[in-house]
Amino acid sequence: MRHLLVLTFFSLSLCLSAQNATLLLPDYLFDGEEMHEGWGLIFQGDTIVAVGPRTELRKRKVAEVIDLPGTTLLPGLIEGHSHLLLHPYDETSWNDQVLKESHAERVARAVVHAEKTLMAGFTTARDLGSEGAEYADVGIRTAIEKGVIPGPRLQVAGPAIVATGSYGPKGFAPHAQPPLGAHAADGVDELIKEVRTQIGHGADFIKVYADYRWGPDGEARPSFSQEELELIVQTAASSGRTVAAHAATAEGMRRAILAGVVSIEHGDGGTAEVFQLMAEKGVALCPTIAAGDAISQYRGWQKGQGEEPARIKRKRQSIKLALAAGVIINTGGDVGVFPHGDNVRELELMVEYGMSPLATLVSTTSINAKVMGWEDRLGSLTSGLWADLVIVMGRPDQEISDLRKLKGVIKGGKWVVRK
């Protein structure tokens, strides 16, 4: 009798379990690493419970079966370099956003930006600094987590750390002290305190500017010593956090790589030797191609006409060198320099600059998840991970722009977009 009761309870559990399970049957399924034809996925609640050939999955009891002809199912896309508190510089300059827009206005804009990001299929984002809005990004992250506003899952950096004298806004009289777009700190005591302060205020990781445009002629130059960068990384690591480094010079990159950062943001001035070092150390490059592309167009470049600007040529060369060295490429467009919701623009440019569409898909899913330390939660279509999913028409592994042909977005098992 006891065995009968156990079997009855088990059968009832399976029946109840199937009541809210959904089977998705696309033509193709990208699991974060490979593309599969004729595969499907079952999710229940906020979790993926099964992935595999549709012939096997059809044998499972589920509450709903959704056929998705002509589509590809992917993990929710991940934006690896965003600034939700910024909006395009052709609307308002960075200086004016930092100095003339209230924090209330900037948060209001960020709420709109967060929803646009999610509606574009990016269910997770790494935000690389509040740019003068202090810890507003922490509050936005919390509001999304509580369901107050719609948006992607967020990791936020807070204000970011810069060396004294290096960051803007600049150009004011000595008696005028405008607010900076980041927090300045130097030396052992200040840096330890600043890292710990940012962590205490809710930063998920630390962003540091390993170099910036403060040379004699306004050119980029390293801003922290290697010892200072190592101290930042060690202090963050003691709390289980990583460090991402803005670096556009070869020396700034070298110091940051040796210090142990998880990613280099931009990397325009990288040399073959520096990229080889990156590959050896397993440091990821987030190239942010779309930001420079957008800024060049704001300044009058007619894309596709005439000679390319020097910064575009440098970016093409840096990507070529990084790929040749086997550097890990993670995806992030520096969104905010250009419109939020147009995040796919970065992926299209990555393909234009030499990556295959499939490699680009890996970059914006499983690789971005690893850079964020969330590979055990998302970034792949694997049983037990969160049900963050994107459905598009077409084959984005062949034509990356098919990511714009959204048919569905699911975050945590709930439909955000369903067409």
Among 97, 104, 124, 260, residue whose Cα is nearest residue 179: 97
Q: Which helix (H) or strand (E) holds 418?
A: strand 414-418
Average pLDDT, the chain: 95
Assigned superfamily of 77-372: Metal-dependent hydrolases (3.20.20.140)
Give the pLDDT confidence score for residue 5 in this predicted structure: 33
Hey, where are the domains in the chain? 2-75+380-418, 77-372
pLDDT of 3 above 50: no
Residues 69-89: pLDDT tens digits? Answer: 999 999 999 999 999 999 999
* Percent of the chain predicted with pLDDT > 70: 96
CATH code of domain 2-75+380-418: 2.30.40.10
Give the pLDDT confidence score for residue 8 in this predicted structure: 34
- Can you give the C-alpha Rg of the chain in angstroms? 23
Listing DSSP states for 207-251 in one string gives EEESEEE-STTS-EEE-S-HHHHHHHHHHHHTTT--EEEEE-SHH
Residues 390-402: pLDDT tens digits? Answer: 999 999 999 999 9
DSSP 8-class letter at 271: -
Give the pLDDT confidence score for residue 246 in this predicted structure: 98
Q: How many Cβ atoms from other residues are within 10 Å of residue 401's Cβ?
A: 15
pLDDT of 344 above 60: yes
Instruction: Please tell me the pTM assigned to this model.
Output: 0.95
Query: Count of residues for the chain?
Result: 419
pLDDT of 13 above 90: no
Give the mean model confidence (pLDDT) for residues 165-177.
Answer: 92
pLDDT of 15 above 80: no
Please tell me the distance from the alpha carbon of residue 419 to that of residue 406, in angstroms, as a whole number.
Answer: 8
